[in-house]
A and B are shown apart, each in its own frame.
Chain A
Amino acid sequence: MKYLDEYRDPALARRLLAELGAVATRPWHLMEVCGGQTHTLVRQGIDELLPAGIRMIHGPGCPVCVTPIETIDRALAIAAAPGVVFTSFGDMLRVPGTTTSLLQVKAAGGDVRVVYSPADAVRIAAEEPDKQVVFLAVGFETTAPANAAAVLLADELGLENFSILVSHVLVPPALTTILDDPECVVDGFLTAGHVCAVMGWTEYEPIAERYRVPLVVTGFEPLDLLEGILMAVRQLEEGRYEVENQYVRAVRRGGNEIAQDTIRRVFQVSDRIWRGIGTIPASGLALAPEYERFDAAVKFADVSSSVDELPTECIAGQILTGAKLPTDCPAYGTRCTPMHPLGAPMVSSEGTCAAFHTAGRTRPPVSAAASATG
């Protein structure tokens, strides 16, 4: 697609940076909520090109990273059970549970398969009726409609050997949790364009008003991010606190209503534990009672394991809320690397620690820039 290549146009990016430099008169802290955005910002070095004082704080936007260890341990126990085909997106495979990971369960003979789509997991269930096929349903609002549709598909097909282990999380309650923290330094947010493609942005409007923070619905290309940052900084400089949409080409205010209906049909809002943060009330989705027969946690209640999280030097909680940078972690790059992750943010390419490591970050450049100016 031609215009997408243009969203990577370096000359336009330079002009946006110049404009940002002209608009910004004081330091501002912006949080990008989505791990995909973190990945682009860090990989392209955009966070380091920003005018002094404009600092990006990397939020809890990686679903892999916030999936609680209890869910991972339960997934591992189910995956190791006989007769089970355990299916998952690839980036969950190396996430460390208390003692092992899906990759290690697979190496030990477990039938763990990577799928591109939850629909592929349903297909496997249809093709292998003598197996119990379980899909690890994690993600934000972006992924929830797909996982809900997979349940509806399995229901239509009358499959009794398909179930999902659900650990869905919702963005707005995470934002208010971050904003309620007395140590919160975030002045404005770039919200995740793909989450908003599904949900729209009406639920962000009360947050903007109540906390007096600008929220800009932002896409994932370098130009999108720069424009989103510029829009947020403009609002801050002008004393406005609104929800604005940078990602007009894909997001409408009401979002995708069919997708929202599908979510509401299959899931209900529930409390959810966020790894490294703790329980956030009404911040997740669980299967609605009508679809409980597709709930792997119920189906495999007897194989589920619950182990207390071992003490670790991982500071993922502070990374996820933006309080610390990966380079502040004593294990970063030494005892903790993408091949041997101690914590989830080092596992997924969308995790802040992995994004920093892949980009070869060795010192905290943004903090240094921020302290030099203020």
Chain B
Amino acid sequence: MGSDINVTLGNWSEWFMLLAAMTYMVVFVAFVWDMASHSKTLGLREEERARKRAAAEQDSRELVGVGASSKAAASAGAGSSATVSGSAEEGAASARTAELGAPGEFRTSGESSTKGAGEFEALNYTKGARRPAARVAVMLMVIAFALHVFAVVSRGVAADRVPWANMYEFCSTGAMVVAGVYLVTLIFKDLRFVGPMVSGLVLIMLCLATIAFPTPVSPLQPALQSYWLIIHVSIAVAASGIFTITFAMAVLQLLQSRREKRLALGQESRMGFLRAVPSSVTLENFAFRLNSVGFVFWTFTLAAGAIWADQAWGRFWGWDTKEVWTFVVWTVYAAYMHARVTRGWNGNRSAWLAIAGYMCVVFNFTVVNTLFPGLHSYSGL
């Protein structure tokens, strides 16, 4: 690899990074706005329904019912849990056929029904729910992401290498991956409820990059010039991007399950914004799917790091500080994977494990890169 540095392009890159950061700030505000307004709408609707039922039943303990029924509906929507009872399905199915009547009765192979498909239905986009602030947020996020991609790519071009060789680049590229992973999942599932947390984290990462670790464009040291670096770091960053989103979901899961408990007891919950968030069971299940992918990526990171270390330093594992922390992260997530199938460890405890794992990831990327000595202390600080 040569070291042809293009300073002008490097400067452009920095400007675009700032621009992206500012756009993310607006995205963050829009997402928060959406959470507030959407949960308020949902709250009003809930109240409306409760009032109707109260009028019909003359029951003063309406809140119990609301809490319980919303919980039941949510967990039924989770689809994967056994609470989807046969009889409910049956009822729905017969109602549907009764409505259809004779003519269109027969199925054709072209017909694709997603009803009851159960792929985290609670996370599907629902028609009719108008959320202007969320739309603005997502649209702006796409724009911010485009600016961000330009900033990162132009930095790579300017430095004539992959843009993740120091802390500035780790943070900015990492933030880009988080935003990218999030936007991609948004295509499939309505994860706008984690928007405030994800955009907030992206914003923090960009601020860290531009304020705490500003670094001009520079070439790579010989020990870092390897395609294993590209593979190792890109997968590590992708895994961290996934873990960031599941971290946000774990936090929401904990809050949501507290709220669910309160509502089930007939108490009021002050965390009304959680109305716009799916049930804790859905969050847990979906986060687990994402975390499995993240865990596979991290396992790969560990191995690619070992292969790289084997080539660069002549030992595949030497308990370098960075290796220790990569191992710690891996072990914590392995524990998380077990927690899901261990009685007494699923639910909130597994969410705590996911949070602990993410803390280790953050520690690994920040403190270890900057403060600890070791072969990996190439962070350019």
Q: Do A and B come from one complex?
A: no
